[in-house]
Chains A and B, each alone.
Chain A
Amino acid sequence: MRGQLFCAALAAAALLTGCSPLPYPREMEDMALLRTLGVDRAGDGLSVTASTGPQANGQHQGEQEPALVLSARRDSLSAACLAMQSLSYRYVFFGYVDQLLLGEDLARADVRPVLDACARSGELSLGAQLWLTLDQTAAEAIRAGGSGGVDRQLITLGTDGEMGLSLLPRTAGEVYADLLDRGCAYVPALTRGEEDAPLTAAGYGVLRDGALKGVLTGGAARGLERLTGGGQADIWTQSLGENRVVLRAEGAGVTCLPRRGGPGTLSGLTVTCRVRASCEENNTPLTSGERDRAKRAVIARETAQIRAALTQLQAWGADCTGLGLRAAARSGAWTETGERWPERFARLPISLTIQVQLQDG
């Protein structure tokens, strides 16, 4: 009897939680499983394009149906996603969207409403990898993927980035958290040179207050990666007197310490980047002199790249690699990373030290 009363009370309590409507069952094969979502600015609203990627073909095992691409234009991301349901004979499921492309126009306006919609959606996830598409809309980038879809290429780019072979991948959640915490964030950017060319890395877009301030490309992009403590390897040919060697450098960590002008006064930041370098394609061991020259070459190249990134970031007032927070974490009671930090960061002298660990081939 006591057990029955307990069960009845438990059932009543469960109803009070608001969980009384049970979820609705759906068969997975009756769903259009979207993998890539692109969002562009369209007037005052948004244009949303989504792709499933290649789909399983039940009639011919081993063959695949072409990717399904859907597009809708509405005032908001949620409304556009809802509108897509009527465009397919299957239930359109956004739970597997793991690539989120943002068009350049949208990024220059404000990306926060899109990220906020992802955070609040029951299906869309902040775990999706976020990319900026430069010189083209997100819809164009998705449609250019053709019947094979663009998701595999984006997944490969993301995996390469995690292995230090390409741009550092970022999830929508990481970018959104940076925007909320620091007011700025960096996002990997992609471009397509020619019409049929695959998407290629185009540096990092820097967002401040949700809007794109500019793009770091080339050495500056690599400098930003070093400021995060990692990034892809840099390989170049270096002349060491009579000998020419191929040098490879990759980030191995970064520390940032505050410099104080007096009690409670911040006079600058000292950034120390550790770089692991090695000689590639070198048949003979380097002499002591050549090693010194190689080291100096690495330091000079890394300094130039990082300084280029820092200069640009300071010009935008965007501490998107979190140097201020790193310094704050090291100095304990330092409270200079408040609301005025972007202005402070823009004017703060930053001294840079490169520590190179050179391995000989």
Chain B
Amino acid sequence: MAKDGGAHPRREPRLSGALTLERFTQVFHDCADFSLRRLRLWGEDGPEAVLCSIVGMARTERVNDYILRPLLRSGPPPENADLPAWLAASVLYNQDVRVETSLDQAVGGVINGSCAIFLSGCPGALLAAAATEEKRAVGEPENEPALKGARDSFVESLRTNTSLVRRRLRAPELKVREHIVGRQTLTPVDVLWLDGIADPDTVARLDRGLADLDIDGIEAAGDLEEYLTGNLSTPFPLMPYTQRPDRFCRGLLEGRVGLLADGIPLGWLAPGTLDQFFKTGQDRAYHWMAASALRLIRYSCAALTILLPGLYIALVTFHPEAIPVKLALSIVAAKQEVPFSTIFEVLIMLLSFEVIQEAGLRLPGPIGATVSILGGLVVGNAAVEARIVSPAVLIAVAIAGVAGYTQPSQDLGSALRLWRFLLAILASLGGLFGLTAGCAALIYHLAALETFGVPYLAPFTTGRPTPARGPSLLRLPLPWLKWRDGPIHTRNRRNQR
């Protein structure tokens, strides 16, 4: 039955009708990994049983030891016994066995690793869980390494990920609500929150978003982010993600709502305000003074990476009087005989920087590193010596590029890189006036953003009186941080005595 009558109708249930062996095998016609085994129970006169499973999804040892062996070794059932119910209750060594009569449910169960047992003369089938647990082991978070903290990271298995969270948050208030997303992938996606702390409105927004998410499948992070945030007009990330369960749990403790998807070794947190993208999981591990200094450096580097190329263009080309004399003379000396204008130089160097970075990322590790060195050092040095580019421009662009790498969030770094180009172009058109107009536009853009009903610039500014936790620019001593962030509407703001 179609869920809606539009151009993209969705059938629910996918397979209708009664569950029979014929229809079941018809569904898996042309499926090489479909396995079917016929048995005769309790001698030649006993009923026939047919075991159906998907090779690779069901674990062979479990099927042999906990389904086949007890079936073949058991004696006949008591008289007048309901055979499927008797087998489920008294024969099979399995925690999850049920009698299924729906074809749709049985097919789904077998695809997920269960074993369907059809008994001659009995309607429906027994569905016994025998799913394999083959998965990547919990390893270290490569993208968020920890010097002083936990070293486990999320993996592709959703249940493993929820268990990693549950091991840290043992309170029964941790709720996990599952949605199945994707017509073809049928991917389980879990919403996690701490009941009594998280904002129910944010939970409801995520639930609604996932329920409305009608796509073919979830294969990448964007399949969730772009649909759930609902804002495609900004390059700035609206949902922070992490590989680290400890950071994910910290987000839940702060009153945010988590999201985990099967097949993606990441956890998302909502709402994702701007300050979240400047924090790292290690901020709470270091001394507060060191962590505050590092956080200030990150903010400064964000300003540097976005402003420096534009500022260089504006000052050198439009407002040289604002440059200290000695620096100006150095720039003039470095620029002698360079055939290109400063604007062209900076824009081309910015583009080259992105090209070298992209080339380094797309190639395997050792080759990528070689390309980076070759592009960055050798070609850069040769270009300066051949007076194709000025060393001052090279230094300005390199500082801006390296400063961008201090951002803990690559998504934020990418957004800053895009705006860096825009501000450089505006500075090329109007000098400091253009740059200032660009900065004003950036602030306007950021102030207009919302993430799950929370202003993106919170807690710096929320547009309305909101109790804040403290200056987010700094990491205050933990005993002073007695309150959760006000702007994310936590139900219980106090987090310590």
A206-228, CB < 8 A from B: none
Q: Mark B326-355, 1 if CB is under 8 A from A, else 0.
A: 001101110111100111000000000000
CB-based contact B328/A28 at 8 Å: yes
- Chain A 57-100 near chain B by CB (<8 Å), digits 1 or 0: 11100000000000000000000000000000000010110100
What are the residues of chain A within 8 A of B316 when measuring CB–CB? 28
How far apart are B340's CB and chain A's nearest CB, in angstroms?
A: 10
- A58→B448 CA distance, assembly (Å): 49
Tell which of A19-27, A197-205, A268-276, A352-360 binds the partner.
A19-27
Which A residues lie within 8 Å of B320 (CB)?
A: 26, 28, 31, 33, 93, 95-96
Give the contacts of B206-256 with A (CB-CB under 8 A).
none
Chain A min CB distance to B448 (Å): 6
Contact present for B341 and A27 (CB under 8 Å): yes
The complex places the Cα of A3 from the Cα of B449 at a distance, in Å, of: 12
Q: B336 and A56: CB pair below 8 A?
A: yes
The answer to whether A44 has its CB under 8 Å from any CB of chain B is no
Is A242 at the interface (CB under 8 A from chain B)? no
User: Does B7 lie at the interface of the complex (its beta carbon under 8 Å from any beta carbon of A)?
Assistant: no
Interface-located stretch among B296-304, B400-408, B427-435: B427-435
Report the Cα distance A14→B434, complex, angstroms. 12
A113 to chain B, nearest CB (A): 22
Quick one: which of A25, A59, A93, A98 has the most chain B CB within 10 A? A25
CA distance A160 to B39 in the complex (A): 105
Q: Does A181 have its Cβ within 8 Å of any Cβ on chain B?
A: no
Residues of A within 8 A of B335 (CB): 27-29
When A3-B444, A28-B320, A56-B333 are in contact, do A96 and B328 touch as well, CB less than 8 Å?
Answer: yes
B438 CB to nearest chain A CB (Å): 13
A3, B338: Cα distance in complex, Å: 42
| C-alpha gap A7/B317 in the complex (Å) | 27
**How large, as a class, is the contact surface on chain B?**
20 to 34
Smallest CB gap from A155: residue in B: B325
A123 sits at the interface (CB 8 A): yes
Contact A22 B431 (CB under 8 A): yes
Write out the residue numbers on chain B whose beta carbons fall within 8 Å of the beta carbon of A22.
429-431, 433-434
Taken together as a complex, chains A and B put the C-alpha atoms of A33 and B321 apart, in Å, by: 10
A interface secondary structure, majority: loop
Q: How large is the interface on A (under 10, 10 to 19, 20 to 34, 35 or more residues)?
A: 20 to 34
Docked-complex contact A28 and B444, CB < 8 angstroms: no
- Chain A residues positioned under 8 Å from B387 (CB to CB): 58
Residues from chain A with a CB closer than 8 A to the CB of B317 are 25-28
Which residues from chain A contact B159 at a C-beta distance below 8 Å?
none
> Does A248 make an interface contact (CB < 8 A)?
no
B318 CB–A CB distance under 8 Å: yes
Residues of A within 8 A of B341 (CB): 25, 27
A28–B331 touching, CB < 8 Å = yes
Distance in Å: Cβ of B382 to nearest Cβ of chain A = 16
A56: which of B329, B343, B428, B431 is its contact (CB, 8 Å)? B329
List A residues 85-122 near B (Cβ within 8 Å).
93, 95-96, 98
B319 at interface (Cβ–Cβ under 8 A)? yes
Contact (Cβ within 8 A) B336 A29 = yes
Picked from A10, A25, A58, A93, the residue with its CB within 8 Å of the CB of B343 is A25
Chain B residue numbers with a CB within 8 Å of A27 are 317, 335, 341-342
Is A35 an interface position by the 8 A CB rule? yes
* Cβ–Cβ < 8 Å partners of A29 in chain B: 332, 335-336, 338
The one of A35, A59, A96 that contacts B321, using a Cβ cutoff of 8 Å:
A96
From B343, which residue of chain A is reached at the shortest CB distance?
Answer: A25
Task: Choose among A23, A24, A33, A57 the residue that contacts B336 (Cβ–Cβ < 8 A).
Answer: A57
**C-beta contact mask, A30-52 vs B, less than 8 Å → 1, else 0?**
01010100000000000000000
In the docked arrangement, what's the CA distance between A33 and B431, Å?
Answer: 20
Q: Tell me whether A23 and B318 are in contact (CB under 8 A).
A: yes
Closest to B313 in A: A25
Nearest B-chain residue to A94, judged by Cβ: B321
Query: Whole-angstrom distance from the CB of B4 to the nearest CB of chain A?
Result: 29
Q: Which residues of A contact B321 (CB under 8 A)?
A: 93, 95-96, 123, 125
How far is B331's CA from A33's CA once the two chains are assembled, in angstroms? Answer: 12
CB A64 to nearest CB in B, in angstroms, measures: 9
Given A27-B317, A33-B328, A95-B321, CB of A59 within 8 Å of CB of B337: yes
- In the complex the two chains form, what is the Cα distance from A6 to B445 in whole Å? 12
Chain B residues within an 8 Å CB radius of A55: 332
Contact of A19 among B331, B433, B440, B448 (CB under 8 A): B433
Identify which of B332, B437, B440, B441 contacts A28 (C-beta below 8 A).
B332
Candidate in A7, A35, A58, A125 with the most chain B CB atoms within 10 angstroms:
A58
Chain B: which residue is nearest A20 at the CB level?
A: B433
A261 to nearest B CB, angstroms?
A: 52
When the two chains form their complex, are residues A98 and B331 in contact, meaning their CB atoms are under 8 A apart?
no
Chain B residue nearest in CB terms to A35? B325
Closest Cβ neighbor of A10 among chain B residues: B440
Instruction: Give the one of A10, A23, A123 with max B CB within 10 A.
Output: A23
**Which residue of the partner chain, among A23, A59, A123, contacts B430 with CB atoms under 8 Å?**
A23
Nearest-neighbour CB distance to chain A for B102, whole angstroms, equals 49
Q: Which residue of B lies closest to A62 (CB)?
A: B333
B332 CB contact (under 8 Å) in A23, A24, A33: A33
Residues in A whose Cβ lies below 8 Å from that of B337: 58-59
- Nearest chain B residue, comparing its CB with the CB of A22: B430
- Residue of B318, B437, B440 near A25 (CB, 8 A) is B318
Chain B nearest CB: distance from A93 CB in Å?
A: 7
- Chain B residues with Cβ below 8 Å from A33 are 320, 328-329, 332
Per the bound structure, the CA–CA distance linking A7 and B430 in Å amounts to 17
Contacts of A98 in B (CB 8 A): 325
Contact A3 B431 (CB under 8 A): no
Min C-beta distance of A24 to chain B, whole Å: 8
B431, A23: Cβ atoms closer than 8 Å: yes
Q: How far is the CA of A28 from the CA of B337 in the complex (A)?
A: 12
Would you give the 0/1 interface string for B366-402, flagging 1 where the beta carbon is closer than 8 Å to chain A?
0000000000000000000001000000000000000
**Neighbour of A3 across the interface among B434, B440, B448, CB < 8 A:** B448
Query: With a CB–CB cut-off of 8 A, which chain B residues contact A25?
Result: 317-318, 341, 343, 428, 431
Q: What distance in Å separates the Cβ of A8 from its nearest Cβ neighbour in chain B? A: 13
Complex interface: chain A residues within 8 A of B429 (CB): 22
If A22-B434, A35-B325 are given as contacts, then 20 extra A-B residue pairs at C-beta distance below 8 Å, sorted by A number, are A3-B448, A7-B444, A22-B429, A22-B430, A23-B431, A25-B317, A25-B341, A25-B343, A25-B428, A27-B342, A28-B316, A28-B328, A29-B336, A33-B328, A33-B332, A55-B332, A56-B332, A59-B336, A96-B320, A125-B321
6 closest A-B pairs (Cβ-Cβ)?
Answer: A58-B336, A95-B321, A56-B333, A58-B337, A25-B317, A22-B430
In the assembled complex, 23 residue pairs joining A and B whose CB atoms fall closer than 8 Å, in A order, are A3-B448, A7-B441, A10-B440, A22-B434, A23-B433, A25-B431, A26-B317, A26-B320, A27-B341, A27-B342, A28-B317, A28-B331, A28-B332, A29-B332, A33-B332, A35-B325, A55-B332, A57-B336, A58-B337, A58-B387, A93-B321, A98-B325, A125-B321
Q: Please give the residue numbers on chain A whose beta carbons come within 8 Å of chain B beta carbons, in ascending order.
A: 3, 6-7, 10, 14, 19, 22-29, 31, 33, 35, 55-59, 93, 95-96, 98, 123, 125
